[in-house]
Amino acid sequence: MRIGELSRRTGVPVPTIKYYLREGLLPGGELTSPNQAQYGEPHVHRLKLVRAMVEVGKLSVAATRDVLQAIDEPGNSLHQVLGIAQAAVTPAVTAADPDAWESAEKLVEELVERHGWEVKPGNPARQALAQLVVTLRDLGQDDLLDVFDDYAAAAERLSTAELALIGRREGLDSKVEGAVLGTVLGDALIGAMRRLAQANASHRAFEGARG
Amino acid sequence: MRIGELSRRTGVPVPTIKYYLREGLLPGGELTSPNQAQYGEPHVHRLKLVRAMVEVGKLSVAATRDVLQAIDEPGNSLHQVLGIAQAAVTPAVTAADPDAWESAEKLVEELVERHGWEVKPGNPARQALAQLVVTLRDLGQDDLLDVFDDYAAAAERLSTAELALIGRREGLDSKVEGAVLGTVLGDALIGAMRRLAQANASHRAFEGARG
């Protein structure tokens, strides 16, 4: 199909497709003349995947390219691809007071040990968690740290359920894509679920409390 | 204290403080001369709160202002403030094929009913969830929809634990601030926990699977 048809099939505007081609998010089509290319079903699927990561998962174009390159590299294990996808969705952390930071890292380390998690020391989610600890303490919200173990237990149940489901898939490429989408879209999923559950719990507990 | 001391106390650079003052995120200090203002402890706390929302919660300046205005408005119930905080952290949704959208909304409605949640029809998290359903189906990842009920159950447990904790606080302002921070920072918290739990589960299940 030509690029116009690719646009109709996916709902992605032609200029956006050309941008993704230039940025290396989408492999080029087969050239049928110097300025005309043909695209196939793999392009349709890849374009939908790019859109899911950029528009729904809110990944940057650079982060999306990192993840797609990790998927395409046949030597990568599923565990390695997941690590790259995780790094892509974990925001960078800003510096804090060294003493506060050291104490927060200790709390994270204890939590990881308490849950028996085997996680590399350099995993960026450790820093993300330490930053949350520093922030909550700095705001005098130390009591909120009491929910960290509830969050850890919930995260563990979700990861186990998700990876079990992906493990039942046929074919490694399909497993890899499922694991990456679970990582990239899972944040939006649990975020939306939390808001619905919270709206319900707040409705029952607090409506009118300050009105 | 002068603005330089406010900067030292909070770690926020003076130009950033001036920007927040112009944008109405921080109330002005008490003028002691035409071009000099004094700031107090409430400014220190408010500035830390702004930084937590903008830098850690990744809220836009406009969304942060909406949430702070909701906190400051004494007529708002805790339930109302939470609703505004929820809207601020829920990204806008892009359009999709109407049939696919209608079917996704039906799935979301059934899920909400199945969990007995009382949630307003206009809650933006419903649309966020419907968009995830459309995206996963479009990518042929329908099997991943099977984890939605696990996510819903986890979200419900977390919301209940969090709101119970906040309900035990003294004073409505403290409850409101805790609920808002739970909403704004809770996404980063469950995100980081999911990555650690997933790294552990993936390490156990998949390491070397494609190597």
For residue B135, give both structure tokens: 């995206």
- If asked whether residues B155 and B51 sit together in one domain, one would say no
Q: What is the mean pLDDT of chain B?
A: 89
Q: CA–CA separation, A52 vs A42, rounded Å? A: 15
Residue A115 included in any domain: yes
Residue A96 included in any domain: yes
DSSP state, B162? H
Instruction: Indicate the number of domains in chain A.
Output: 1
C-beta atoms of A123 and B157 within 8 A: no
Percent of chain B with pLDDT over 90: 55
C-beta atoms of A195 and B125 within 8 A: yes
What is the pLDDT at residue A82? 85
C-beta atoms of B192 and A128 within 8 A: yes
* ipTM of this complex prediction, to 2 decimal places: 0.87
- If asked whether residues B111 and B178 sit together in one domain, one would say yes
- If asked whether residues B112 and B157 sit together in one domain, one would say yes
> Closest to A150 (Cβ–Cβ): which among B83, B144, B157?
B157
A·B CB contacts under 8 A: 352
> Closest to A141 (Cβ–Cβ): which among B154, B181, B190?
B181
- If asked whether residues B143 and B199 sit together in one domain, one would say yes
Q: In b/e form, how buried is each residue of A122-160, taking b as 16+ CB within 10 angstroms?
A: ebbbbbbbbbbbbbbbbbebeebeebbebbbbbbbbbbb
The yes-or-no verdict on residue B197 having pLDDT over 80 is yes
Percent of chain B with pLDDT over 70: 97
Average pLDDT on B149-173 reads: 90
More confident site: B95 or B187: B187
From the number of C-beta atoms within 10 Å of its C-beta (0-12, 13-18, 19+), residue B160 rates as middle
Residue B161 included in any domain: yes
Amino acid at B95: A
Residue A201 included in any domain: no
- If asked whether residues B114 and B184 sit together in one domain, one would say yes
Average pLDDT on B36-65 reads: 92
Give contacts of A42 with chain B, Cβ < 8 Å: none
Give contacts of A60 with chain B, Cβ < 8 Å: none
C-beta atoms of A206 and B163 within 8 A: yes
For residue B9, give both structure tokens: 């106390």
Give contacts of B91 with chain A, Cβ < 8 Å: 58, 188
Residue A28 included in any domain: no
* Residue A36, strand partner residues: A33
More confident site: B16 or B96: B16
Average pLDDT on B19-45 reads: 93
Nearest Cα residue to B134 out of B91, B158, B99:
B99
Give contacts of B201 with chain A, Cβ < 8 Å: 156, 159-160, 163
What is the pLDDT at residue A104? 95
Nearest Cα residue to A126 out of B205, A144, A118, A193:
A118
C-beta atoms of B193 and A83 within 8 A: no
The yes-or-no verdict on residue B127 having pLDDT over 60 is yes
- If asked whether residues B22 and B118 sit together in one domain, one would say no
What is the pLDDT at residue A37? 93
Q: Which residue of B has its CA nearest to A93?
A: B56
Residue with tokens 């990861």: A159
The CA radius of gyration of chain A, in Å to the nearest whole number, is 21
pLDDT digits over A40-56, tens only? 999 999 999 999 999 88
For residue B191, give both structure tokens: 């995100």
For residue B50, give both structure tokens: 């702004």
Nearest Cα residue to B40 out of B26, B23, B24:
B26
Residue B126 included in any domain: yes
Torsion of CA A138, A141, A146, A149, to 10 degrees: -50
Most B CBs within 10 A among A133, A151, A185, hence the mutation to make, goes to: A151
> What are phi and psi for residue A33, nearest 5 degrees?
-160, 170
Residue A120 included in any domain: yes
The yes-or-no verdict on residue B210 having pLDDT over 60 is no
- If asked whether residues B118 and B201 sit together in one domain, one would say yes
Q: CA–CA separation, A200 vs B163, rounded Å? A: 11
Q: For each successive 10 residues of chain A (211 residues), what is the average pLDDT? A: 94 94 93 91 94 88 91 85 85 79 95 94 90 92 93 92 88 86 89 91 70 41
Q: CA–CA separation, A195 vs A176, rounded Å? A: 29
Nearest Cα residue to A54 out of A8, A20, A28, A84:
A20
> Closest to B139 (Cβ–Cβ): which among A160, A181, A211?
A181
Residue B98 included in any domain: yes
Residue B47: give its domain's CATH number.
1.10.1660.10
Q: Which residue of A has its CA nearest to B160?
A: A201
> Closest to B197 (Cβ–Cβ): which among A56, A126, A156?
A156
- If asked whether residues B42 and B103 sit together in one domain, one would say no
Q: CA–CA separation, A51 vs A57, rounded Å? A: 9
What is the pLDDT at residue B208? 52
- If asked whether residues B145 and B50 sit together in one domain, one would say no
Q: CA–CA separation, B68 vs A137, rounded Å? A: 20
- If asked whether residues B106 and B185 sit together in one domain, one would say yes
Query: What 3-state class would DSSP assign to A166?
Result: helix
> Closest to B190 (Cβ–Cβ): which among A58, A144, A155?
A155
Give contacts of A154 with chain B, Cβ < 8 Å: 154, 157-158, 190, 193
A176 alpha carbon, distance to own chain's centre: 14
What is the pLDDT at residue B87? 84
In terms of residue numbers, what domain contains B29? 3-56
pLDDT digits over A138-177, tens only? 999 999 999 999 999 999 999 989 888 888 888 888 888 8
